[in-house]
Amino acid sequence: MDNSLDNILNNFVNISLNEIEALKNEINFEVYEKAAELIIAAEDIGNRVHITGIGKPGHVAGYIASLMSSTGTPTYELHGTEAVHGSSGQVKAGDVVIAISNSGETSELKATVATLKENGAKVIAVTGKKESWLAKEADIFLYAGVKNEGDPLNRAPRASILAEVFVLQILSLLLQCKKNITPQQYVKWHPGGALGQLRTNEVK
């Protein structure tokens, strides 16, 4: 076995790309439609969207909350462990919570999701295990599974994080399109930097 650094890095790149390619074949856009409809229906009656995860998926939650908020779906990050110590108070009955966990069995997230459901929230699960507790407990399940993380230990979340981000980017894009977000609206929410400037073909 070639354990050279170049081989390890090449393997990571190839495995990661292959995992995303395999995930592409698992995507069911009808499920994404249902997730988007659940979110839009909640917003239409004044409810909100939250997103949570434990560990590395918690950082994914922060990014996706920012992405969705900047593209027309205000989304609030919910701390995965603090939720059972009072922070679940930010979620009211009828709100939608997106919960991210590769295994779908993380004890802290299970406690959080159970609390949120007891308080009347709807749950969209993003997990890599189809038969997991989280997948079964959720109102809607978005599959984000990989077989290999891409490194020699096959432990540290790498490819699975890419999969979770990929899946949630698809959902954010679907919501953006359903809401017909214009360049003018995007710039209004994102006035800083190059992204905050209208391009020549967008000026009206």
pLDDT at 204: 67
Q: What is the pTM of this model?
A: 0.96
Q: How far is the C-alpha of 133 from the C-alpha of 110, rounded, in Å?
A: 8
Instruction: Indicate if the alpha-carbon torsion angle 91, 92, 96, 101 is positive or negative.
Output: positive
Mean residue pLDDT of the chain comes to 96
| Confidence tier at 193 by pLDDT (50, 70, 90) | confident
Domain 29-180: which CATH number of 3.30.70.1520, 3.50.50.60, 3.40.50.10490, 3.30.420.40: 3.40.50.10490
Q: Where are the domains of the chain?
A: 29-180
Is 201 a residue whose pLDDT tops 90? no
pLDDT tens for each residue of 75-110: 999 999 999 999 999 999 999 999 999 999 999 999
Q: How far is the C-alpha of 166 from the C-alpha of 96, rounded, in Å?
A: 20
What is the three-class DSSP state of 140?
A: strand
CB 28 within 8 A of CB 167: no
- Spatial strand order in the sheet of 96-100: 75-77, 49-53, 96-100, 122-127, 140-143
